Amino acid sequence: MKYDLVITHIDRLLSLAGDPDRGLRGEEMEQSIEIEDAAIAIKDGRIAFVGKTNTLFEREIIEAEQTINARGKSVLPGFIDAHTHLPFYGWRGGEVARGRGKTYGNVIQGGGGIKVSIKEMEEASDVDILQFTNDLLDHIHTWGTTTVEMKSGYSSNVEGELRELHLIQKIKENSPVDIIPTCLAAHDVPEGYTSSEWINEVINDLLPEVAEKKLARMTDIYIEPFTFNISDARKFAEASRSLGLIPRAHSDQVHNIGGCKEAVLLEFSSADHLNQITEEEMQMLAKSNTAAGMLPGADFTMREKHLPPARKLIDSGALVVLSSNYNPGTSPVGAMPVIIGFACALYDWTPKEAIAAATINAAVSLGIGKDRGSIEVGKAADILILKDNLYEMLPYRMGSNPISMVIKDGIITKN
Q: Which is nearer to ligand NIG, 195 or 327 (CB)?
A: 327
Reduce the secondary structure of 85-140 to three states and give it as a string.
Answer: CCCCCCCCHHHHHHCCCCCHHHHHHCCCCHHHHHHHHHHCCHHHHHHHHHHHHHHH
Q: Find the shortest distance in angstroms from Cβ 256 to ligand NIG.
A: 14
Q: What is the DSSP letter of 213?
A: T
Q: Which is nearer to ligand NIG, 114 or 218 (CB)?
A: 114
* CB nearer to ligand NIG: pick between 23 and 113: 113
Our CA angle for 267, 272, 274, nearest 5°, is: 105
Q: Where are the beta strands (DSSP E) in 15-83?
A: 34-43, 46-52, 63-69, 74-77, 79-81
Q: Which parts of this chain interact with ligand NIG (CB under 6 A)?
A: 85, 113-114, 117, 222, 250, 253, 298, 325, 327-330
CB 176: neighbour CB atoms within 10 A?
A: 17
Q: Nearest distance from residue 390's CB to ligand NIG, in Å? A: 31
Phi, psi of 60 (to 5 degrees): -160, 165
CA distance 187 to 151: 10
**CB closer to ligand NIG out of 117 and 146:** 117
Q: Output the smallest distance, CB 151 to ligand NIG, in A.
A: 9
> Between residues 328 and 337, which has the closer beta carbon with respect to ligand NIG?
328
Residue 336 CA to residue 145 CA, distance in Å, equals: 7
Nearer to ligand NIG, 2 or 305 (CB): 305
Write down the least CB distance from residue 297 to ligand NIG, Å.
9
> Which amino acid is located at 70 in the chain?
A
Task: Find the shortest distance in angstroms from Cβ 289 to ligand NIG.
Answer: 22
Residue 239 CB, nearest approach to ligand NIG (Å): 21
Residue with the shortest CB distance to ligand NIG: 329
